[in-house]
Structure 1
């Protein structure tokens, strides 16, 4: 029985000659490994935790009421149970809407932070690109194989770290905007 060929490790590439003027970069790796990217990811996590805590603080008393209603369901008539469930559901709705709003705000915050970092990174990429005499720059994620000797990622991370280590941002406030239609 023939064996399947061994998978090529993406980090090793397929080898071959370095193609002069053709360079690679992983923007995702720059974001994930740069000091500013790490700091921004930590800040977004913190904002997400704060938003979740805000929603949880409102949801927990209602969850306790729902549990109490469930416990006493056998002592209520069907109409009483439905009325209380409806009232509880109506009180849950704004909390669910707030949770969805906070989720959209965190998504928007993350996107804006990434855009800010990308704006800081672009001149660094351009400088490293020129230093290496590149004529063409590909995202490393689209390269199926080859010699990755002209990968600029590590150098760009180093240069970006020397330029900026953190950015300041707050959670985006979308409360004045309508919810997206489904």
Structure 2
């Protein structure tokens, strides 16, 4: 899941979504797109075929386009958090070393509440980005499903296995590459906007002890 996280009162907001793994709409990196086991060879088993949905999402043109768009939306969501984080960090540093009196404690309590609100915003943005990813992946899966069935029939398959669960063997009946080729011929790109979810109010911060 894509996460936009506020670690603490004076900590930076981290965005694991900037990594290669999070940028893939299917949640798979190119390394994960390859068969998990070594191709040990052996005879082709008639009717037994393999498929990697993760590799389809990672390698098809529409999957790459969706990942690029998702990355744009994730960066925009991060900027929303960063815009509020920077002034909070400035105020937090300004309070360091201040005398411990009633006025300072009140300012710290108010600042703690604002940090909590920011953490709620970061969590909410993460949920919206994840909902966006799931919806986009579902659309691509819908486009790919009839093509998978078509290639499945062409190869005269009688059983289809998830390639990631296969430890080794003969991968001659792997339908992934043919499915990617067919999907590229069917659709090249996809457009979508960020999903919007109801905003939940942040719980009030616990007051500091005098």
User: TM-score, structure 1 length as denominator?
Assistant: 0.86
Aligned to 2:49, the other structure's residue is in SS state: strand
Please point out which of 57, 75, 87 is paired with 1:31. 57
Distance 1:140-1:15 versus aligned 2 partners, 3 A rule: same
Secondary structure (helix, strand or coil) at the match of 1:168 reads coil
Q: Which residue of 2 aligns with 1:87?
A: 110
The alpha carbon displacement at 1:175 in A equals 2.5
Report how many residues are paired: 168
Alignment of 1:16 with 2:39, yes or no, is no
Q: Are residue 139 (structure 1) and residue 165 (structure 2) matched?
A: no
Instruction: Output aligned runs, 1:70-85, within 5 Å.
Output: 70=96, 73-74=97-98, 76-85=99-108
**Greater relative contact order, per chain length (Cα 8 Å cut-off, separation 6+):** 1
> Secondary structure of the equivalent of 2:129?
helix
Change (3 A) 1:178 1:161: farther
**Who wins on radius of gyration, i.e. which is larger?**
1
Gaps of 5+ in 2: 1-34, 203-210
Q: Secondary structure at the match of 2:130?
A: helix
Instruction: Report deviation, 1:176.
Output: 5.1
Offset of residue 77 of structure 1: 2.8
Preserved contact between residue 36 and residue 163 of structure 2 (Cα < 8 Å): no
Measured against aligned partners, the alpha-carbon deviations of 1:69-124 in whole angstroms (never above 9, x if no partner) come to 11xx24x2343332211011112222211111000000111111111110110001
Residue of structure 2 aligned with 1:58, choices 79, 84, 91: 84
What is the rounded CA distance, in whole Å, between the counterparts of 1:178 and 1:126 in structure 2?
46
Equivalent in the alignment of 2:68? 42
Which 4+ runs in 1 deviate beyond 6 A?
Answer: none
Matching residue of 1:127: 150
Deviations 1:105-158 (A, max 9, x none): 001111111111101100010111111111111110111111011001111101
Counterpart-to-counterpart distance in 2, 1:109 and 1:44: 8
Q: After superposition, what is the alpha-carbon deviation per residue over 1:34-63, rounded to whole angstroms, capped at 9, x for unaligned?
A: 001111111111101000001110121111
CA RMSD of aligned residues (A): 1.8
1:159 aligned residue (176, 182, 190): 182
Q: Which consecutive residues of structure 1, in runs of 5 or more, have no partner in the other structure?
A: 1-8
Q: Which has the higher helix share?
A: 1
Q: 1:153 to 1:22 in 2, by over 3 A?
A: same
